[in-house]
Structure 1
Amino acid sequence: MNAPFAPTRISPLFDEQAPHAAKWTQVETMQTVASFGSADAARLPLAGIGDLSFRRRAGVKGPGAAAWLNALGIATPERMNSWLRMDDGTLVLRLGNTEYLVEDMPGGGRTAQMSATAPTHGVYPVPRYDAALIVAGRNALELTRQTCAFDFTTLSPAAQGLAMTSMVGVGITAVAMESGGETYYRLWCDGTYGGYLWATLVEVASDLGGGAVGLESLGRLAQQ
């Protein structure tokens, strides 16, 4: 196994992933598994579990949060429990009524802009130390049925709704997205529980013909 870099940021999944990693890379100053081995590409179309924890995130909440974000040029969803993607690829999730999660694309600077701007009255920063996963492949929906009581068929890429629910006992935020006509799911959870969630989903995915997928095989899914 290639030795990992000495990064600025430590992945919340490192301890679980390190014994299985075949190749490492560094993205946004976080070490990330580039490949788990030659089977990665075959796993993705069936039930692939990918890791996007390296993306930079920031959160705010409070009655003034939406106006503050808008003043920074960051669009906010009109509906509670929904999400949008800005023209520059930034994801903005509205969690409940007045809390927002902002996630940069690789190389994006929206979260740095937020961190550099003092909050105004009614705006409260929310630290984000998420583990962020992708569940993709034709057996992805079956995987959610085996791990979560929430019905993922109610999530639609077109409707851009989100769910805050529990998966294998871990609180998650989930959305459905689309790439090449295929639906896949993005999941966020507290990084403290990220390793357990990743390992459990990989185990279930393995029974469905899939498993862990490194960044190289995720391809365009890692850029959305």
Structure 2
Amino acid sequence: MAAIARSPFAHRISERRNVLGAQASVLIHDLTPIGRTGFKGAGTSDWTASQVSAIPDRPNRAVTLADGTVVARLGKEEYLVLDSRKSPGSVSAELEATWAKGSTESSARMGYPLPRADSHSWLFLEGTRVPEMMAKICGVDLRLANFPEGEIAQTIVARIGAVIIREIGAPSKGLHLLTDFASADYLWEVLEDASAEYGGGFAPDGRT
């Protein structure tokens, strides 16, 4: 299952008139058009481990594969997979196709898919003032010292259920932020308002 063709933020980004530089203290990238998926249920950990080179050893941790794909463990038997922002190809689509084939051919328990590309938007926040900005709308302390690389918070952001993942390896040490599509317009307004105080906002091209 491919990612949606357009993001719920796309029309807003296309209408932006101010262009933010790469050195903005808060820069928000819309990664929603990039593939992502999820799996959950009995047998999911064993099945996921058989399909990718590494999985996190405990819930609320993430690992980054060699191609940049992020594998996030949200529960004992629940995973979120974010395709690489830099590399071509779609690990999430490959996993979904493999699962669909295996579910009809194998009797082994392998959980069930959660098509996150159909339910959740995906933003990436970077910049020196991101933790300070997020402190205004989220109760989790997202400073790097307290929320290190690979850490996951399943929390509330501006009254919206959210998954936040600390980037691994990249110099920016930014934050992946996933929320449901239904809240996109509200989230846009919240983030635009919160980031404006720091001279930041949404990047015009979406990607990092």
What does residue range 1-224 of structure 1 map to in structure 2 within 5 Å?
Answer: 9-14=5-10, 18-19=11-12, 21-22=14-15, 36-37=16-17, 39-41=19-21, 44-106=23-85, 107-117=88-98, 118=100, 119=103, 120-128=108-116, 129-153=119-143, 154-157=146-149, 160-177=150-167, 181-215=171-205, 222=208
TM-score (norm 1): 0.77
Alignment size in residue pairs? 193
Q: Give the Cα–Cα distance (whole angstroms) in 2 for the partners of residues 109 and 20 of structure 1.
A: 24
Counterpart of 2:135 in 1: which secondary structure? Answer: helix
- Is the Cα–Cα contact under 8 Å of residues 49 and 133 in structure 1 kept in the other structure? yes
Q: Which structure shows the bigger proportion of residues in helix conformation?
A: 1
AA paired with 2:8? P
- Is the Cα–Cα contact under 8 Å of residues 155 and 175 in structure 1 kept in the other structure? no
The equivalent of 1:26 in structure 2 is: none
Q: Cα 1:66–1:179, aligned 2, differ >3 Å: closer, same or farther?
A: closer
The equivalent of 1:27 in structure 2 is: none
Q: Percent identity?
A: 28
Q: Give the Cα–Cα distance (whole angstroms) in 1 for the partners of residues 168 and 69 of structure 2.
A: 16
- Is the Cα–Cα contact under 8 Å of residues 165 and 176 in structure 2 kept in the other structure? yes
Q: Give the Cα–Cα distance (whole angstroms) in 1 for the partners of residues 170 and 90 of structure 2.
A: 27
- Is the Cα–Cα contact under 8 Å of residues 48 and 211 in structure 1 kept in the other structure? yes
RMSD of Structure 2 on Structure 1 (CA)? 2.3
AA paired with 1:9? A
1:22-64 deviation per Cα after TM superposition (whole angstroms, max 9, x unaligned): 5xxxxxxxxxxxxx4453216x521112211111011101121
Q: Cα 1:20–1:62, aligned 2, differ >3 Å: closer, same or farther?
A: closer
Quick check: 83-92 or 186-195, which moved more? 186-195
AA paired with 2:51? L
AA paired with 2:159? G
Q: Give the Cα–Cα distance (whole angstroms) in 1 for the partners of residues 82 and 176 of structure 2.
A: 12
